[in-house]
Amino acid sequence: MSILKDVTKAIESSNGNGQLKSRVSALVSGAEITEIFGSNVFNDRVMKERLPKDTYKALKKTMEQGAPLTLEVANVVANAMKDWAIEKGATHYTHWFQPLTGKTAEKHDSFISPTTDGGVVMEFSGKQLAQGEPDASSFPSGGLRATFEARGYTAWDCTSPAFLKEDSAGNVTLCIPTAFCSYTGEALDKKVPLLRSMEAVSKQAMRVLKGLGNKTATRVTATVGPEQEYFLIDKGYFDRRIDLIMAGRTLFGAPSPKGQEMEDQYFGAIKDRISSFMKDLDIELWKMGVLSKTKHNEVAPAQYEMAPIFSTTNIAADHNQLVMETMQKVALRHGLVCLLHEKPFGGVNGSGKHNNWSLATDDGFNLLEPGSTPHENEQFLIFVAALLTAVDRHADMLRAGIATPGNDLRLGANEAPPAIVSMFMGEELTEILQNIAKGKKTVARGQKFLHIGIDTMPPLPKDNTDRNRTSPFAFTGNKFEFRMVGASASISGVNVILNTIVAETLDEIATRLEKAKDKHKEAAAILKAAVIKHSRVIYNGNNYTDEWVREANRRGLPNIRSTVEALAAMATPQAEKLFSKYKVLSKGELHSRYEIYLEHYAKTINIEAMAAIDMVRKLYIPAVVEFTGQLAQTVASLEEVSASSEIQKSLLDSVSSLLEAASEKLHALEVATKKAQDIKEAKAKAEAYRDRVFVAMGELRSEIDALEGLMPRSLWPVPTYADMLFNL
Ligand code: ADP
Ligand code: MG
């Protein structure tokens, strides 16, 4: 471990110029990775080593089968955890949770406990491990918990391992992943519903498997691999952009002469400075047990991506939060800032998060992997049918699940999936599904198909190589990839929805199978009905075209453009029924989320508007006034000597009229913002921000961006797009 300490120290003391970094990084190549990986995780290996056998067994039973955790077991585990953490330099512990802000929260408590002789001992009890009582009054609750009743409870989620977080000041904190709920047991966080939804989909998937005659599986887990896109810019530029600091995105900025049109960034050679950041990021993530696997340049300049190896949904969600947090922390060490906003720069690609999703059995089968036997393929097609049905039936809910103000700027732009939810199945699978609907046999086309040899089940595509990058919900061979999620979002919300809507359709399928005499005939009938009813949601073409927008409209698929509209799907009686039926969210819990997200929309646009007003008043207008003053002086001096001043005059005219327009637009934005601020009712308020404030901001931006085009570089008060995107 000494190497690790040296490396960390060296990284921390480096000045961010990247040079030291590459030397340091070289130290931890190859074999050391196996030593580093999980070194800060209280994982199975550590538990086996440090827990008495019976405690280990009892804890595993809780983790795997949900058996209740006794205080006795918790005490022993807590003590072992504390010793382990202290040996690794920890002084504090925290219940680490995920309130409805979409971020994580932590309150640090030291292990100290006073002794009678005036000293302290380091203590950590089972009770402290299992439960915490943070003051909850400052977290959003959407009316679930009156502020006077501030008590919230955090409870250990022992299915996600405890880990150590290190910061550059040398603090080491033991983090206990927890769920967060109110005194009355209502979920105040993103994790509780996620765990409930995993339970729901597992239960219904098991019923289907049993219905189809599967005798080996006992549990089904939803698996997720979230690919994370992000931007990096130099901190020097970031510090001079109030919009980036306040809103996470640029509210102004004329396009850079070069954008992404050369297509030379995607998968391009990674620059040293970035590569050194990526290596440090990997090391930090590996230490915490995050299976960081892939890194590459993304489409836009200064845009990158990392992808982990997939894991159980709740661990994937925890880890994705750590990924986002660690990216931001490590970037600072390199003199960089990591931007996770969905659209930090107008006119170039935004950032998303591809949520790769599947279902796995505890005996090692991926239920969305076409199998090698007729029986496995029947199973596969039934699960595909369940997804097809769920996505078509609840497209509006999925859309609501990814609705954020940042994502509004990304979806439907010519780079991200449009706001229409459709599914890509690939040519072969689509043909198979269509033939099922028509009652026709699929003729195998050479090597591409698996021959499965019975009449009721068609041959299946062996390798789905056709990758449709424009589809919002794509079958990629052995999993579905939901690509509409925004880069800054927690992945919990969307997986809660996915798990629950699939649980519902699996429930319906299971009920039919359980009643049927001939299971295989029934399975074939279920498939046929599902395909006939829900194929309209399948689209294998280019989702970025206007033709698709028209076609989708003809098919009756919803095309929901804004967050405010999209969120409405969370407030319908169908949504209430669905989430309460599967015990994922009660009516109150669901409604609280609707309220919180609407409020979040209004607050976000308000911050953007205030930042825009501030920048225009204090930076742009003064700079333009200075320039017009200089021009006027030049004109006057030229006229004094009877020299020609036509060009200077015409420039002065153009700049002055833009300044006048900008000033008018500024006033309009101020008026619109004030009006929106005064509206009380949440929906009307959010609508005012969308229809008035957001629009006024856009109008103000065009004037300022036009001015940027005319003003000398030396007088422009903020870094330009060219500076930020190309100077790394
Ligand atoms: P891409 O070409 O989209 O980058 P990859 O094969 O690299 O595709 O996979 C992307 C993500 O999908 C990775 O995080 C990977 O771990 C994840 N993934 C692979 N199999 C599954 C699965 N069965 N369930 C969930 N995620 C998966
Ligand atoms: Mg992908």
Query: Which ligand has its closest atom nearest to the C-alpha of 358?
Result: 1
Q: What is the mean pLDDT of residues 482-486?
A: 95
CB of 221 sitting under 6 A from ligand 1:
no
Taking phi over 0 as left and psi of -120 to 50 as alpha, with beta for the rest, 30 belongs to left
For ligand 2, the distance from its centroid to the CA atom of residue 45, given in whole angstroms, is 31
Q: Looking at ligand 1, which residue's alpha carbon is closest to its atom 22?
A: 358
Residues 72 and 30 placed together within one structural domain of the fold: no
For ligand 1, the distance from its centroid to the CA atom of residue 71, given in whole angstroms, is 39
Residues 641 and 701 placed together within one structural domain of the fold: yes
Residue in 310, 481, 491 to alter for ligand 1 test, most ligand atoms within 8 A of Cβ: 310
CA dihedral 120, 122, 125, 130 (to 10 degrees): 120
Q: What DSSP state is assigned to residue 693?
A: I
Please give the residue that has the higher pLDDT: either 725 or 464.
725
Six-digit token pair at 86? 């202290």
Query: Which ligand has its closest atom nearest to the C-alpha of 291?
Result: 1
* Side-chain-facing half-sphere of 226: CA atoms under 13 Å: 32
Residues 56 and 160 placed together within one structural domain of the fold: yes
Percent of the chain beyond pLDDT 90?
A: 74
Q: What is the CATH number of the domain that holds 157?
A: 3.10.20.70
Task: Decide which of 552, 567, 588 is a domain's last residue.
Answer: 552
Please give the residue that has the higher pLDDT: either 218 or 65.
218
pLDDT tens for each residue of 360-370: 999 999 999 98
Position 127 scores a pLDDT of: 94
Residues 372 and 511 placed together within one structural domain of the fold: yes
CB atoms within 10 A of CB 545: 13
d(CA 332, CA 16) in angstroms, rounded, equals 8
Residue in 365, 479, 481, 485 to alter for ligand 1 test, most ligand atoms within 8 A of Cβ: 479
Number of folded domains that form the chain: 5
Tell whether 689 is covered by a domain. Answer: yes
CB of 366 sitting under 6 A from ligand 1:
yes
Position 146 scores a pLDDT of: 58
d(CA 10, CA 192) in angstroms, rounded, equals 40
| Alpha carbon 709 to its chain's center | 35
User: The dihedral of CA 138, 143, 144, 150: what is its sign?
Assistant: positive
pLDDT tens for each residue of 76-92: 999 999 999 999 999 99
Tell whether 546 is covered by a domain. Answer: yes
Residues 211 and 281 placed together within one structural domain of the fold: no
Residues 546 and 484 placed together within one structural domain of the fold: yes
Q: Can you give the residue range of the structural domain that contains 178?
A: 37-189
461: pLDDT strictly greater than 70 = no
Position 490 scores a pLDDT of: 96
Tell whether 588 is covered by a domain. Answer: no
Residues 137 and 216 placed together within one structural domain of the fold: no
Q: Looking at ligand 1, which residue's alpha carbon is closest to its atom 8?
A: 476
Buried b (16+ CB within 10 A) or exposed e, 315-349: bbbbbbbbbbbbbebbbebbbbbbbbbbbbbbebb
Q: Which helix (H) or strand (E) holds 297?
A: strand 292-297
pLDDT tens for each residue of 277-336: 999 999 999 999 999 999 998 888 999 999 999 999 999 999 999 999 999 999 999 999
Tell whether 569 is covered by a domain. Answer: no
Buried b (16+ CB within 10 A) or exposed e, 268-280: eeeeebbbbbbbb
For ligand 2, the distance from its centroid to the CA atom of residue 417, given in whole angstroms, is 13
Task: Decide which of 317, 352, 387 is a domain's last residue.
Answer: 352
d(CA 567, CA 419) in angstroms, rounded, equals 13
Furthest-apart CA pair in the chain: how many Å? Answer: 104
Q: Looking at ligand 1, which residue's alpha carbon is closest to its atom 19?
A: 310
Nearest to 391 by CA among 360, 355, 361, 427: 355
Nearest to 38 by CA among 164, 184, 125, 144: 164
Six-digit token pair at 640? 């004094």
Q: Three-class SS of residue 645? A: coil
β-strands 112-114, 292-297: how paired? unpaired
CA dihedral 98, 99, 105, 110 (to 10 degrees): -90
Angle 276-282-285 (CA atoms, 0-180°, nearest 5)? Answer: 140
For ligand 2, the distance from its centroid to the CA atom of residue 225, given in whole angstroms, is 9
Residues 6+ apart with CB under 8 A from 411: 402, 417, 418, 419, 484
Nearest to 393 by CA among 551, 226, 197, 572: 572
CB of 361 sitting under 6 A from ligand 1:
no
* Side-chain-facing half-sphere of 499: CA atoms under 13 Å: 32
Residues 53 and 12 placed together within one structural domain of the fold: no
Alpha-helical regions (H) of 309-465: 313-333, 374-393, 395-401, 405-408, 427-438
Angle, helix 374-393 to helix 492-515, in steps of 10 degrees = 120
Please check whether residue 263 is in contact with residue 301, taking contact to mean a CB–CB distance below 8 angstroms.
Answer: no
d(CA 497, CA 200) in angstroms, rounded, equals 11
Q: Model's pTM, two decimal places?
A: 0.92
Residues 169 and 278 placed together within one structural domain of the fold: no
Nearest to 460 by CA among 486, 435, 442: 442
Residues 401 and 535 placed together within one structural domain of the fold: yes
Least confident of 265-269, 469-473, 486-490, 534-538: 265-269
CB of 478 sitting under 6 A from ligand 1:
yes
